[in-house]
Amino acid sequence: MRLQRIEQFIAVVDTGSIRGAARLLGMSQPALSRALQQLEEELGVQLMHRSGRGASLTPAGSAFLARARVAEAELRKAADEARSMVDDGSGLLALGLSPVGASLLLPELFITLRQARPKARIRILETTPSALLPLVRDEVMDLAVTQRTRINLDAGLDYRPLAEINMRIAVRRGHPLLALRKARLTDLVSASWLYMTAHDSSDDIVSRSFIGAGLPVPLPAVHCGSYFIALDLIASTDMVGVLPPALLRTCMRSGQLDELVLAEPLLPIHLGLDTRAGSPATASAKSAADAIIAIAHRIALTGELRSTTPLAD
């Protein structure tokens, strides 16, 4: 089976049509159609339904797509790895960070990687764990740093614990709840909450903390996957949100936010390193993993978080 045919198949899926894929690949539509037919003949199954409205996957095509993406990603990594042996570290490193991971690791991680592998091309994506982890599993991303969720337990992923973080409650300056010297979770059940998740889930730190205290889970007013947006929303409304301690201190020094002190702390967030199970790491990915572990340990020494992994294997 030729790699070119796999790439052509993926291009048709991603563009939704033979015409769009042909334009993307710089080839004629008849040539692309023949290549897909040859792939189907080789496999002995129909991968796509073709129509004037585009192309859609058959059940067999959907099953083949998942493996095809992994195969294409593995071959891309192999090519990058081979080139790195010649040109001293060039190649692409695709790194995913949840908002919590980004707030702790950047910009130090980027600076460290540029010093270690100055020729590497670095792609950084910040989004929620639910969006990042499928990309790691399908090898679109080399690795990710996220808080532990049920998705981390996917059989296609390896999860390495890094640290525990005790998140803090953030509110705007002058928020009515600040009149409480120490708030209790019971005081916050009816608060207007901003959740750092993409959708409803009982897996986030707020929900788990309220469930652990035997309280009803607050209904979120907003789901948000970016701290950049969250900070503005919390500062300009009566919404309540959770932030890493260092980020909250920075916002407090600038006069943007205040901390709502809790009588009982929220449950800790468990931060970890996610990679695809059974896939050897590229040299760039290994450098990134080593840097992430070292930064997490250094921050732990300041008391900002508690390390949960040894510095070296």
pLDDT band at 26 (very low <50, low <70, confident <90, very high): confident
Per-residue pLDDT tens over the stretch 40-67: 888 888 888 887 777 888 888 888 888 8
Residue 253: in which H helix or E strand, if any? helix 245-253
DSSP annotation of 220: E
- 139: helix, coil or strand? coil
Q: Where in the chain is the domain with CATH 1.10.10.10?
A: 3-71
Give yes or no for residue 203 having a pLDDT over 70: no
pLDDT band at 5 (very low <50, low <70, confident <90, very high): confident
Beta-carbon neighbour count of residue 204 at 10 Å? 21
Q: Where in the chain is the domain with CATH 3.40.190.10?
A: 88-165+270-307, 168-267
What topology does CATH give the domain 3-71?
Arc Repressor Mutant, subunit A (1.10.10)
User: Are 47 and 57 spatial neighbours (Cβ–Cβ below 8 Å)?
Assistant: yes
**Whole-angstrom distance, CA of residue 308 vs CA of residue 305:** 9
Query: In CATH, what is the architecture of 168-267?
Result: 3-Layer(aba) Sandwich (3.40)
pLDDT band at 8 (very low <50, low <70, confident <90, very high): confident
Amino acid at 65: L
- 55: helix, coil or strand? strand
pLDDT band at 201 (very low <50, low <70, confident <90, very high): low
Amino acid at 260: L
The two tokens of residue 36 are 């897909």
What topology does CATH give the domain 88-165+270-307?
D-Maltodextrin-Binding Protein; domain 2 (3.40.190)
Per-residue pLDDT tens over the stretch 160-176: 999 899 999 999 999 99
> pLDDT above 90 covers what percent of the chain?
36
The two tokens of residue 273 are 């390193």
How many Å is the Cα radius of gyration of the chain?
23
Nearby residues of 290 by Cβ (< 8 Å), 6 or more positions away: none
pLDDT at residue number 82: 64
pLDDT at residue number 313: 40
> pLDDT above 70 covers what percent of the chain?
88
H helical segments located in the chain: 3-15, 18-25, 29-43, 59-87, 99-105, 108-116, 129-137, 205-212, 227-236, 245-253, 283-301
DSSP annotation of 216: P
